[in-house]
Amino acid sequence: MTQDETCDDLLLDNQLCFALHSTSLLMTKVYKPLLQAIGLTYPQYLAMLVLWERDGITVGELSRRLMTDPGSVTPLLKRLEAEGLIERRRSSVDERVVELHLTEAGRTMRANAERFPNCIATGSDLGRDEIMRLRNELIELRNRLQRML
């Protein structure tokens, strides 16, 4: 390998990590006006997606799904609760466990968010098959990176 080839490996635009990072930043920016219209931030939206899939999960389960630690989701959950979208309740089986339940307003919000995936598909000019292929490749990359830890 020549000196030039080694240097090319360290160019910002040649980095997979930067391509992912910059794409993630832009995805968040694209979602921002959509989410502002329903009163959510992007992290709140991700939490709501999980709760729309399965109401009544624990804080620990939500943290695992979002791939974050429970302490970092607590402030987010407090805001969702203050906005009347969720209720946090102690488990009747184990009072150390906090369960998350959608309120009627939280369930109703789902209908307002159903158009978001199509907005992203239309705006990115990607078809459903292309989106699913790209998503699957990213999940495979994520799985491989997880094995490194």
DSSP per residue over 5-24, as a string?
HHHHTT-GGG-HHHHHHHHH
Q: Which pLDDT band holds residue 6 (cuts at 50, 70, 90)?
A: low
100 C-beta neighbours (distance < 10 Å), count: 24
Q: What is the pLDDT of residue 103?
A: 98
Going from the C-alpha of 102 to that of each of 2, 14, 22, 48, 99, the distances in angstroms are 58, 43, 33, 9, 10
DSSP state, 102? Answer: E
What architecture is domain 25-114? Orthogonal Bundle (1.10)
Against a cut of 0.85, is the pTM above it? yes
Going from the C-alpha of 112 to that of each of 38, 121, 123, the distances in angstroms are 7, 17, 18
What is the rounded average pLDDT of the residues 119-132? 93
What token pair was written down for 82?
A: 């203050």
- 86-118: per-residue pLDDT in tens? 999 999 899 899 999 999 999 999 999 999 999
d(CA 54, CA 49): 9
- 68-94: per-residue pLDDT in tens? 998 899 999 999 999 999 999 999 899
